[in-house]
Amino acid sequence: MNQYFERRYVIGGIFIILILVLLSRLFYIQIIDDRYALSASKNVIRQFIQYPARGPILDRNGKTLVTNELVYDVKVIPKEVKSFDTLEFCKLLGIDKAEFDKRLAKARKYSPNLESPFEKQLSPQLYASLQERLSEFPGFRVGPHPTRTYPDSVAAHFLGYIGEVNDNMIAKSGGYYRLGDYIGISGVEKAYENVLRGTRGVKNMLVDSKGVQKGSYANGAFDTLAVPGEKLTSSLDVRLQKLGEKLMQNKVGSIVAIEPSSGEILAFVSTPSYDPNLLVGRDRSANIKKLANDPYQPFLVRPIQASYPPGSSFKPLSALIAMQEGIITPQTGYNCPGYYIAGNRRINCFHNERHGYVTLSSAVAESCNGYFDMVFEKLINRLGPKKTDSAFSSWRDKVAKFGLGGKLDLDLPSEGTGLLPQASLYDKMYHKGGWRSSTVISLGIGQGELLATPLQLANIEATIANRGFYYKPHLIKSIGDRQVIKTEYTVKNYVGVSAQYFEPVIDGMQAVVDHGTAASSKIPGIIMCGKTGTAQNSHGEDHSVFVAFAPRENPKIAIAVVVENGGQGASWAAPIASFMVEKYLRDSITARPSGISPQRYMDANLMPDISYYISQQKKQFRRDSIRQARMDSIKKARTIKSASNKNKKPAATNFLLAVIPNKDE
């Protein structure tokens, strides 16, 4: 009997313990852990993303370059879609049934329970007509979404554009972005994405079983407000930008203007260009495709991605370096017979002009090839013929301090470096010890393998204007209401040449405009110092190049203009630069004694034959195909070689050596 009672107490104790455990668990679930409450609430609460307005971008004087306007996106939750008149729905959106099915299938694949974009950027008019009938289309809703608008339709390459995120962008963002979000794709929009995008908000709404909103959840206690993106004040002067784009219309090339005292970029012109408003709205995809297929490459950001031989605009650099090294003085003379003999090479002056006896300033003014070839040879031969590569590397390092051969760290993505060749390049071309100063003499006058971006050319002029230093060029003056820019943009970058050596070079540059090759571009009442250049182009007419700064004392603007296939620098680039300089300094353009006027240059069409660009693209495609084929051969060779090594079959290895391309190719 006692044993019976003991079992009863044991069994009763077990039941009591189980009841206590269950009660404890219920208490924990309902009182302490809110996960289940939140899960259940999702059946009646729906979160709606509140998109912030992207920050506006202004010019240096407060003029709006890009701002926002509301458009409307149609979104769908596939699980809530019921039978309705899909043909009528398609008619409203302007799509067909096949497209409807395709988009709905994509949304289901993403998630049957989560909201997905279905149709983007409806106009206010289309939104109004759809909103009236939205109850007929269960599972669909329309919500506002700010998008970009460009009041003046200028500076497309500087501003860049936004686009919808892809899967890769979503993954890289750590979950910040969601399907249907927009992100900066190029230009400032991309470079300052984290500043411009703002912070999204969330609005919690009560909905019934049919998805109809019944009001705010908890009176908005758990809602978060969207925080607009920061305002960016750029360094661009929209008046100057507009003039530059008009002067360069129907031409291929670019203009970069810099304020020497700050490194702020005043104008950033790349042509051919496009209206940035084409890259918003429902026709965006079609417009992007059309622009991407344009042989003239309007998406190419030429000020930082195109490279050209700097030509005569480069000549002062070697002279500055030679003076600093004590190899020449401003009085060092040269008797020019119309050519220069370097080894067994004869380099003619332009049009075989005989300049006679010239010194540094007059050589700059008259653009004497012979003088600067002589200076370059002195630099490269100063250690003797057996140490050409060492002297060349020293010269190269000094030129690099002016910003050539590397990125200037502009606050835009995809900046190019140009090309400042290293001694190793010529070792590969001619074998080590097999080349001399005469081999690379064309570098002394800005030709040969030397390439520079228009930004680099403008930066060199800012350096000369400052007599030996530059601030890194940049496009943003401030973020929000704070004068915030990167610290690196406030640092003086010295190029290693004393200020005193710049004066004879500047004397020559002033003479170029006062009575030299750019005399027709002289601005009455303004001393502009410049250098014309004619960059050789093996595929057609030479490129017209002009670099300058003004005024001579206390310079306010440095500029580089490149007009592809424009011929001599004085023909097109110099007049365009002079109009830009005067516009910035005076906000007007006066009559020139030479009779040139802005309208002539605005009206001129210098677009190269389209067949040239198409042929160049075909050549590039063939080069890319050959390169890819070679890479595939290498991969295949290495795979077979690895297998052959494992199987100890040396015959296969011997075969592979024949298909590996030469390293120099």
Measured CA to CA, the distance from residue 361 to residue 519 in angstroms comes to 16
Task: Based on DSSP, count helices (H) and strands (E) in the chain, helices before strands.
Answer: 23, 22
- What is the 8-class DSSP label of residue 442? G
Q: What whole-number distance in Å separates Cα of residue 473 and Cα of residue 558? A: 11
Instruction: Provide the b/e sequence for 246-284 (b: ≥16 CB within 10 Å).
Output: bbbbebbbbbbbbbbebbbbbbbbbbbbbebbbbbbeeb
Helix 238-247 and helix 573-586: axis angle, to 10°?
160
Measured between its terminal Cα atoms, the distance across the chain in Å is 102
The whole-angstrom distance between residue 34's C-alpha and the CA centroid of its chain comes to: 48
CA 385 remoteness from chain centre? 42
Q: Establish how many alpha carbons lie within 13 A of residue 603's alpha carbon, considering only the half-sphere containing its beta carbon.
A: 5
What pLDDT is stored for residue 624 in this prediction? 55
Distance in angstroms (rounded) separating the CA atoms of residues 263 and 282: 38
Helix axis angle for 97-110 and 86-93, nearest 10°, is: 100
Rounded CA Rg of the chain: 34
pLDDT at residue 652, rounded to an integer = 34
Closest CA to 532 of 271, 314, 356: 314
d(CA 121, CA 72): 5
Tokens 């004392």 correspond to what residue?
A: 553
Structure-block tokens of residue 68: 């926002």
The pLDDT assigned to 609 comes to 79
- Residue 254: strand pairing partners: 270, 562
Q: Which H helix or E strand runs over 309?
A: none
- How confident is the chain (665 residues) per 10-residue block, as mean pLDDT? 63 79 72 54 70 93 93 88 89 90 90 84 82 87 87 95 89 84 92 92 76 72 88 96 97 97 97 93 88 93 94 89 95 91 83 88 92 94 90 96 95 94 93 91 92 97 97 94 82 96 96 93 96 79 92 97 90 96 96 92 90 62 57 55 49 30 30
Quote the CA–CA distance of 73 and 140 in Å, as a whole number: 10
- The pTM is what? 0.82
What is the residue whose two structure tokens read 């004869």?
346
Q: Which residue has 């107490």 as its token pair?
A: 9
Which residues contact residue 392 at a Cβ distance below 8 angstroms, ignoring those fewer than 6 apart?
380, 423, 426, 437, 440
Q: Which residues contact 640 (CB under 8 A, 6 or more apart)?
A: 652, 656
Picking from 246, 245, 184, 199, the residue whose alpha carbon sits closest to that of residue 57 is 184
Positive/negative CA dihedral, 331, 332, 333, 336:
negative
What confidence score (pLDDT) does residue 650 get?
Answer: 39
Residue type at 601 in one-letter notation? Y
Distance CA 157, CA 65 (A): 12
pLDDT at 73: 87
Concatenated DSSP letters of 571-598: TTHHHHHHHHHHHHHHSS-PPPTT---H
* d(C-alpha 312, C-alpha 310), whole Å: 6
Which pLDDT score is estimated for 617? 59
The pLDDT of residue 229: 92
Q: CA separation (Å) from 596 to 566, 571, 578, 593, 653?
A: 16, 11, 10, 8, 69
Phi-psi region of 5 (alpha: psi -120 to 50; beta: other; left: phi over 0): alpha
